Amino acid sequence: MMKKTKILLATALLALSASVLAADVQVEQGAIGRWAGAEATNCFFLGKSYKPVDGACYYPVDMAKRPAVYEIARTVNGVLETASLEVIEKPCELEEIDFPKEEYVNLSPEDANRHWGEQAEVKSVLRQTRPRDPEFSLALGKPSSPLPNGDNFGVCRKFNDIDKNRHTGIDYPVGMGNNVLSVAAGTVSLTGDHFFSGQSVYVNHGNGLTTMYFHLSEINVAKGDKVQKGDSIGKIGSTGRSTGPHLHLGARWLNQRINPNLLMTDPASYPQVNK
């Protein structure tokens, strides 16, 4: 009896490694897979149907998506083609922050209530069940000129020794009062002065892609405004949970939290499906 169980287990492991080897593309959490090489008319992932960008299909993977093999698809000349995408775990680095403003670490009931109300509004803006056609090409533009380096996407954070949510964007150390630029054409879907993110702007670029700009000192646009790539939408500041001037840039694509630096990179460098 014992022997039989062991053999079954060995067979299961073999089957698992075979399926991993067979994945057509491997994508790290927070990154983007690409399927180019033919003029696609539709792309499919996560139960959604959406348009290609410049003929290629993109498959954004949330920074916390469960590592497993997922099916992706596209249509070319009316024919559905499928492939497999394996999500690879990317462990988060721990960032420990001594934060001087205690009210942002241990929230009062009033502030917690305010925060959750704001989150409900943000969620409704980010949830796009039927994405509009894309208004952008990759790579996107930069959110300030010049843009200093930033690399704290996805870090796990402790504020004053207390575990807090992972960082969902990138902080760029841009100086106070500099222009904040929209990284692509789109429509402003939300602006507000929020508890954690301070003065915030959300821009919907179609294709289920939204970029967000936090901690501004000034906002130059309003909900519903059309913007072009490189348009100034506000000024750098330090509002909300922030200790000094910087720009926090976040990106959601099909509601997946992805590394914004990748969107500013040549998409030929993304992991590719070759079949």
Residues found near Zn ion in the complex (CB under 5 A): 171, 248
The residue (of 86 and 171) whose beta carbon lies closer to Zn ion is: 171
The residue (of 136 and 153) whose beta carbon lies closer to Zn ion is: 153
User: Smallest gap, in angstroms, from Cβ of residue 141 to Zn ion?
Assistant: 20
User: Smallest gap, in angstroms, from Cβ of residue 197 to Zn ion?
Assistant: 8
Distances (CA, A) of 204 to 119, 210, 264: 17, 4, 16
User: Smallest gap, in angstroms, from Cβ of residue 215 to Zn ion?
Assistant: 7
Taking phi over 0 as left and psi of -120 to 50 as alpha, with beta for the rest, 111 belongs to: alpha
Longest dimension (CA), the chain: 73
- Using DSSP's 3-state secondary structure scheme, residue 39 falls into coil
* Residue closest to Zn ion, measured at CB: 248
| Other Cβ atoms within 10 Å of 74 Cβ, number | 23
The residue (of 235 and 248) whose beta carbon lies closer to Zn ion is: 248
User: Smallest gap, in angstroms, from Cβ of residue 167 to Zn ion?
Assistant: 6
> Residue 124: which H helix or E strand, with range?
helix 109-126
The residue (of 65 and 157) whose beta carbon lies closer to Zn ion is: 157
Q: Which two tokens stand for residue 2?
A: 């014992």
The residue (of 34 and 167) whose beta carbon lies closer to Zn ion is: 167
Establish whether the linkage from the previous residue to 146 is cis, with ω within 30° of 0.
yes
User: Smallest gap, in angstroms, from Cβ of residue 20 to Zn ion?
Assistant: 34
Q: What is the DSSP string of 80-118?
A: EEEEEEEEEP-PPPEEEE--S-GGGTS--HHHHHHHHHH
User: Smallest gap, in angstroms, from Cβ of residue 246 to Zn ion?
Assistant: 7
The residue (of 48 and 166) whose beta carbon lies closer to Zn ion is: 166
